[in-house]
Structure 1
Amino acid sequence: MTTGQPSFPRQYARTQRFTLGAPRGYALSPDGARVVFLRSASGTDRAQRLWVLDLDEGREFTAADPLTLLAGADEELSPEEQARRERTREGSAGVVGYAVDEAVELAAFTLSGRLFVSELRAGTTRELPVQGPVVDPRPSPDGRQVAFVAQGGLRVVAVDGAATSDGAGAPGDGTGNGPTADRILAAPDGPQVTWGLAEFIAAEEMGRHRGFWWSPDSDRLLAARVDESPVRRWWIADPAHPDREPAAVAYPAAGTANAVVTLALLGLDGSRTEVTWDHVRYPYLARVHWSAGGPPLLLVQSRDQREQRYLTVDTETGATRTVHDDEDEVWVEPFPGAPAWTPDGRLVRIADEGGARKLFVGDRPLTGAPLHVRAVLDVGEDDVLFSASGTDMKDIGVYRAWFRGSGDQGGWERVGARPHPTVSSAVRSGELVVLSQASAEWPGARVEVLRLDADGGEKTLATLASYAEEPQLTARPRFVLAGEREIPCAVLLPTGYTEADGPLPVLLDPYGGPHGQRVVAAHHAHLTSQWFADQGFAVLVADGRGTPGRSPGWEKAISRELAAVALEDQVDALRALAGSFPFDLERVAIRGWSFGGYLAALAALRRPDVFHAAVVGAPVTDLRLYDTHYQERYLGHPDQEPAVYAENSLVTDEGLSGAVEPHRPLMIVHGLADDNVVVAHALRLSAALLAAGRPHEGLPLSGVTHMTPQEQVAENLLLLQVDFLKRSLGMT
């Protein structure tokens, strides 16, 4: 007898990991009257709508509904928009992003490459006739203009439609077949040149997803010119459709040329001033900040990422001046929200000092151990709002630290403190804060609108409702520290398990590498692991060295030893916890995706004495084939350190690297349309295994990228993994 309720894998896929229907993407008006956000209509509706919460009236209303604006037509994405969504791992539809003016009275966004603006007080939306397809529209601070990228050029249009056009484009279709009101500020001067877009490395590795910035006075823009002509071209084919031409991708693999990124100041009056710095020594443009607190502020990095320089820009001449340098013999790191200016012109930055990751204003640290600062969230008149973890790495909180006034003596305090660990984030404008908190104690996230007092007090003004579905299972992670290194771990056992049930086959379920923390105090982060546990496994999730959130030394321990260190910590965590949990060490498997897939393959090939099967999803196998900024940070330049690359790779030109007997079953899964970890990685691993006489299974996913948002694909991937693991471990 069936109830009609979908299985967990189907529910997990259909709800996009229970994110659909949950509020996200907040903007707060400085007058404290409005909260703007995105939310779809239900837990299975992919189309995000633009919403406004009017705090004075205490009501929510929809400002933009994509179904209405597109008259029911399907959304069509340009290649540029598809690339942006892949870099941000965006799997939903509709209004997936927007930008606002300084007063948060006007929002701009795209649908099907068309430009729309919403009057947020009235809740009305209209289309602006411009050349398209439109990418990344952003209103000027005064709300009178909208800048955007179309066909590789940076363009601007007056919100009232008063500007004159330099070209043709049909109102509403974005194809260029009728009169438009926009004009171009910077046109591409070569076939591989774009203005106003983030290059692949910036978007994929640096966390910089934009390529232009308005001046506080709304009279000019600082724009990135990206020339991809030096970058090697790779070709992404679709073998399931041999009639289609392969897509050309400019991919800067380790040791090869990057795109050339420069900046120019573009005036609305047609003026152009080139921004100058030592591009040879500092080729990476990691961050740009432009606010009323000071001149444009740049963060540039050396190619080996052992030095980064903070530069100010003279807006009259384009010359730059160094205001600070960071150096590290291992690597330096760019952080979200930094650098920035305080309103009185002091530099806000995050840096590693004395073994701790600290928040600085000017030369003075505002924080110290045990806080590990992760991001700057907002800079106020007297304080900085930031996120950090402490001695309990799974507990990620929002804090404020004062840099003047009564708090000038130092210290910090937590915002929205709870009696249990949470994973928290926040957006602030003035005294208004939107605080989002997830916890292992409840499903999903709770979102509150708070007012912060100058003395640190808090008042809850409203909550934002979530329409997300609740999962049909409850995750029950047990958080522990494993071994001498106190490796953060989560252990999940089958629902209803008792000691009388005896030892269980073990499934390690890590990411285990840079920028990927899995052991967090959030219920939904452990749902898939709990589902695997309910299939009869004891699931272990371990965040070893190299994962974020603990200390700079913990993160940087993997330098030049990526494979050995990451794998060692998985083995040590497993063995350290075997005496405390019902682990059957004669039946141990591991699964993972991306870095986790790489780690799973390492485990099966190099430690078959410990691991007996592996699911290897989208793995990086030949590390020379991954990108410059990521790979060279951890392993150096492949021409200078070829032995380091060979030691850390799964395969080399000679075949398998470091593999020992006995052979263990592997299932290799890879999306054929993946432009981040290209399918060549999986194919080279498969070829090397075949050459070594090692049987294995493969799942090529046609039309799938590094994400797997397709409902049937995501569901069946989980089911097929369980089937493979049970067969491989002899489970009945």
Structure 2
Amino acid sequence: MDFPELATRTRTFSAGAPRAVTVSADGDRVVFLRSAGTQDPVDQLWVYDVPARAERLVFDPAGPVGIDGYATDPAGRIAAFTVAGRLFTADLRAREVTGHPTAGPARDPRPDPTGGKVGYLTDGTLRIRDLDAGGEDVLLAGEAGSNGVAWGGAEWMATREFGRDRGYWWSPDGRYVLAARVDTSRVPKITMFDPADPQAPARAQSLPLAGEANAQVTLHLLDLDGGWVDVHWDRETYPYLVSVSWTEAGGPLITVLRRLQQHGLVLAIDPRTGETQVHAELADPRWVSPVPGTPCHLPDGRVLIGGELAHDGYDARCLFADGTLLTPPALYVRRVCGRIPALTGGLDRPEFDLLVEASDTDPAEQHLFRVSAHAGSAGIDAQRLTTAPGWHTGAVGGDTVVVGTRSLDHAGIRWAVYLAGDRCGELRSHAAAPPTAPRPALERITDRRLPAAVLYPRAHVAGRRLPVLLDVDGAPGGQQVVADRAAWVVRQWWADAGFAVVVVDNRGTPGVAPSFEKVVHRRVADVVLADQVDGVQALAEKHPDLDLDRLAVRGWEFGGWLAALAVLRRPDMFGCGVAGTPIVDWHLAPTAYAERYLGLPADAADVYAHHGLLESAAEPPVRPGDARPLLILTDLADAAVLPAHALRLSAALLHAGRPHAVLPVTGAPRPMSLPAELDFVRRHLA
């Protein structure tokens, strides 16, 4: 089996590895999904019993469709999930699974905090089912015959751009549900169809494009007995609902942002009236970046908020509790995992600390930190818990902490279970090991200290000059230079095909500092392309085997846009390029994404024109040799990056007489296009 097929069958060597790991509140159970083998796509529900130090299978779908995800009650006693639209709940202590009838294909089921009910979504409605024998299925919210209105779900923009993948939240006592109502009737409709299946009907999909209308999102407090309270905030000024939190420590908290995302509010909701009160303001002249896991109420009543600290000499991504700084400025906070028992307590100190994912000295690594929730006279306290180099993630409940570790030293992710600081077990992985063990050389380059890496063929002999492949992503949020072997497996395949593979994290990518990320505001194209060019030249000075006279560039989505931009605007540097599903016209990019970095099209027409590819593509080259070949890959059924991007780019290139090829990849897993990409680069770089 060749590498592209092997990577496809193994889900890029992730099938069989534990995922979606959570820990019960008492720390006795670690819940996770895992398939049975290296090429098995059907995920099963598992529990690691911490007191017994043993894994136990909870549910095997025993069919072609597995479990996509699950949700538990806060105590971790009940799990709810769906298989092919069928609703199931599992008693995680007894490992008993029950199927439930539903009004239609169910999705996003969530148990209530008492474990007696479960909510689920079907056909735009939010329903509640009593889990007692003979329990009823009650319609909590829905609008019969509504056009474009759905209850309880997260709109497309919230999921894609803000990481909010849910639209309803139980109250801590299980008596109320805070639910979102999403109205997409004003959002522009696009028509999508699958050319590979001409008998399948076309479908209309709401897609908010730059400058156009977004979905209208409102929040409502629904009493299970039929009461109804609307939540009030200035939705015209703050249309984006970014996050919602409702725990036993306090009432509901929401984060809302202005359309251009330069200002936001953390609002506390009064559950009795639906009125909101401003708890904190978030502001940045570029854009606001809330920290995942915040805001939330802490057990002592304070509110935890994450954000940037960019004054008085600080350039940091930090945590605050009611305005008090909790993390040192050298720590780049990425996510709050949860609370763990404090090492020290007392009358003047909280009895808990925070488990936080963050980077300190090296942006290529992520570690787990114990952060004191009390910043007193002793100062800020953040203790690093993970010591081995790599990329660490965490889950916590009670005294149990589960640590997932990725590294350059081993394949896949390894999950270790710790109880009160002592290792007590692990979550086994059945994932296949990749056929290679890449060892990229990670370093920092140029006066901007850009993270970068070079990867050589395994059989490379020093002194032999190699053609160079610049593998780009470059997107804000798209950090690539990481101490994780999985990030380099496909790149090692390219290297073993005879290339020195180069990766540069330009300004705009996360992990270094807020100023490093946000300098791209309104000038993404110039900053990103300049950093990529400067980065590859700096690496060539340090690595004499890099032959920049034979330089290709490759990327997907934002990286596809960047690859095409490089070929069109720097033909003196790049010999050819591969642009996978590229963004070509930023007017066709989603609202929150395009407007965050470029502004509103009506106010920034020149910015959008400068960042688009069509004007450059339509200009005939001054000399025939300046037209560098470009391979464009497009999924003709993709609603995220519309095929219109690739087709418009091809039309402009064709009109200008620029050499290019278009490869449809509809329905094909991404690794399957690798041979075609390699063949194109080899032919045009020689």
TM-score by length of 1: 0.89
Partner of 1:594 in structure 2?
557
Equivalent position SS for 2:250: coil
Match of 1:359 among 316, 319, 329: 319
Q: Give the CA RMSD over aligned residues.
A: 1.6
Answer whether contact 1:440 1:522 (CA < 8 A) is retained.
Answer: yes
Answer whether contact 1:51 1:64 (CA < 8 A) is retained.
Answer: yes
Structure 1 residue 658: Cα displacement: 11
Match of 1:53 among 40, 48, 52: 48
CA distance in 2, matches of 1:611, 1:346: 54
Partner of 1:694 in structure 2?
658
Does residue 727 (structure 1) correspond to residue 677 (structure 2)? The answer is no
CA distance in 1, matches of 2:530, 2:503: 14
Structure 1 residue runs of 5 or longer lacking an equivalent are 1-5, 76-93, 164-180, 453-457
Partner of 1:618 in structure 2?
581
Does residue 464 (structure 1) correspond to residue 427 (structure 2)? The answer is yes
Answer whether contact 1:512 1:566 (CA < 8 A) is retained.
Answer: yes
Partner of 1:434 in structure 2?
402
Query: CA deviation digits over 1:329-371, x for unaligned, max 9?
Result: 1111132111111111111111111311111111111113321
Does residue 377 (structure 1) correspond to residue 337 (structure 2)? The answer is yes
Answer whether contact 1:29 1:103 (CA < 8 A) is retained.
Answer: yes
Does residue 415 (structure 1) correspond to residue 385 (structure 2)? The answer is yes
Residues 471, 614 of structure 1: alpha-carbon distance in 2 compared, 3 angstrom cutoff: same
Structure 1 residue 715: Cα displacement: 4.1
Query: CA deviation digits over 1:638-657, x for unaligned, max 9?
Result: 011100000011125x9648
CA distance in 2, matches of 1:611, 1:388: 36
Equivalent position SS for 2:541: coil
Q: Amino acid of the residue matched to residue 539 of structure 1?
A: V
Answer whether contact 2:407 2:485 (CA < 8 A) is retained.
Answer: yes
Structure 1 residue 446: Cα displacement: 1.3
Match of 1:506 among 447, 453, 468: 468
- What are the residue-to-residue correspondences of 1:298-447 with 2, within 5 Å? 298-353=254-309, 354-380=314-340, 381-404=351-374, 409-418=379-388, 421-447=389-415
- What are the residue-to-residue correspondences of 1:557-576 with 2, within 5 Å? 557-576=519-538
Structure 1 residue 407: Cα displacement: 9.5
Match of 2:219 among 244, 251, 263: 263
Partner of 2:127 in structure 1?
155
Answer whether contact 2:291 2:333 (CA < 8 A) is retained.
Answer: no
Does residue 184 (structure 1) correspond to residue 154 (structure 2)? The answer is no
- What are the residue-to-residue correspondences of 1:572-583 with 2, within 5 Å? 572-581=534-543, 582-583=545-546
Residues 410, 676 of structure 1: alpha-carbon distance in 2 compared, 3 angstrom cutoff: same
Equivalent position SS for 2:199: coil
Answer whether contact 2:568 2:617 (CA < 8 A) is retained.
Answer: no
Match of 1:281 among 237, 246, 271: 237
Equivalent position SS for 2:571: coil
- What are the residue-to-residue correspondences of 1:190-269 with 2, within 5 Å? 190-269=146-225
- What are the residue-to-residue correspondences of 1:483-494 with 2, within 5 Å? 483-494=446-457
Equivalent position SS for 2:251: coil
Query: CA deviation digits over 1:667-707, x for unaligned, max 9?
Result: 000111111101000001001101111121110123x3xxx
Answer whether contact 1:33 1:56 (CA < 8 A) is retained.
Answer: yes
Equivalent position SS for 1:295: strand
Residues 407, 374 of structure 1: alpha-carbon distance in 2 compared, 3 angstrom cutoff: farther
Equivalent position SS for 2:247: coil
CA distance in 2, matches of 1:540, 1:261: 43
Query: CA deviation digits over 1:276-312, x for unaligned, max 9?
Result: 1000000000000000111100000001111010001
Equivalent position SS for 1:442: coil
CA distance in 1, matches of 2:364, 2:430: 26
Bigger mean CA deviation after superposition, 594-603 or 443-452: 443-452
Structure 1 residue 55: Cα displacement: 1.9
Answer whether contact 1:27 1:36 (CA < 8 A) is retained.
Answer: yes
Equivalent position SS for 1:572: helix
CA distance in 1, matches of 2:443, 2:250: 46
CA distance in 2, matches of 1:13, 1:238: 21
Partner of 1:640 in structure 2?
603
Structure 1 residue 660: Cα displacement: 7.0
Match of 1:8 among 3, 8, 26: 3
CA distance in 2, matches of 1:580, 1:461: 45
Q: Amino acid of the residue matched to residue 440 of structure 1?
A: L
Answer whether contact 1:650 1:657 (CA < 8 A) is retained.
Answer: no
% identical equivalent positions: 43
CA distance in 2, matches of 1:57, 1:335: 35
Does residue 523 (structure 1) correspond to residue 485 (structure 2)? The answer is yes
Query: CA deviation digits over 1:108-150, x for unaligned, max 9?
Result: 0001111001111122212011212101000001100000111
CA distance in 2, matches of 1:408, 1:225: 47
Bigger mean CA deviation after superposition, 462-471 or 121-130: 121-130
Q: Amino acid of the residue matched to residue 275 of structure 2?
A: A
Structure 1 residue 610: Cα displacement: 0.4
Answer whether contact 1:100 1:139 (CA < 8 A) is retained.
Answer: yes
Structure 1 residue 97: Cα displacement: 0.5
Q: Amino acid of the residue matched to residue 499 of structure 1?
A: A
Does residue 110 (structure 1) correspond to residue 82 (structure 2)? The answer is yes
Answer whether contact 2:442 2:451 (CA < 8 A) is retained.
Answer: yes
Structure 1 residue 635: Cα displacement: 0.3
Equivalent position SS for 2:411: strand
CA distance in 2, matches of 1:523, 1:414: 22
Equivalent position SS for 2:289: coil
CA distance in 2, matches of 1:344, 1:587: 61
Does residue 294 (structure 1) correspond to residue 257 (structure 2)? The answer is no
CA distance in 1, matches of 2:15, 2:304: 35
Answer whether contact 1:426 1:435 (CA < 8 A) is retained.
Answer: yes
Partner of 1:606 in structure 2?
569
CA distance in 1, matches of 2:52, 2:333: 37
Match of 1:34 among 29, 33, 37: 29
- What are the residue-to-residue correspondences of 1:666-681 with 2, within 5 Å? 666-681=630-645
Structure 1 residue 32: Cα displacement: 2.5
Residues 349, 578 of structure 1: alpha-carbon distance in 2 compared, 3 angstrom cutoff: same
Number of corresponding residues: 668
Answer whether contact 1:39 1:49 (CA < 8 A) is retained.
Answer: yes
Partner of 1:120 in structure 2?
92
Equivalent position SS for 1:579: helix
Structure 1 residue 54: Cα displacement: 1.4
Answer whether contact 2:78 2:90 (CA < 8 A) is retained.
Answer: yes
CA distance in 1, matches of 2:216, 2:417: 42
Equivalent position SS for 1:539: strand
Match of 2:39 among 12, 28, 44: 44
Structure 2 residue runs of 5 or longer lacking an equivalent are 341-350
Q: Amino acid of the residue matched to residue 294 of structure 1?
A: G
Residues 379, 54 of structure 1: alpha-carbon distance in 2 compared, 3 angstrom cutoff: closer
Answer whether contact 1:650 1:658 (CA < 8 A) is retained.
Answer: no
CA distance in 1, matches of 2:379, 2:172: 31
CA distance in 2, matches of 1:659, 1:214: 60
TM-score by length of 2: 0.95
Query: CA deviation digits over 1:61-85, x for unaligned, max 9?
Result: 2101011xxxx4x44xxxxxxxxxx
Answer whether contact 1:9 1:716 (CA < 8 A) is retained.
Answer: yes
Partner of 1:98 in structure 2?
70
Bigger mean CA deviation after superposition, 251-260 or 426-435: 426-435
Equivalent position SS for 1:571: helix
Residues 597, 405 of structure 1: alpha-carbon distance in 2 compared, 3 angstrom cutoff: closer
Partner of 1:474 in structure 2?
437
Query: CA deviation digits over 1:47-103, x for unaligned, max 9?
Result: 000001112222212101011xxxx4x44xxxxxxxxxxxxxxxxxx1120011122
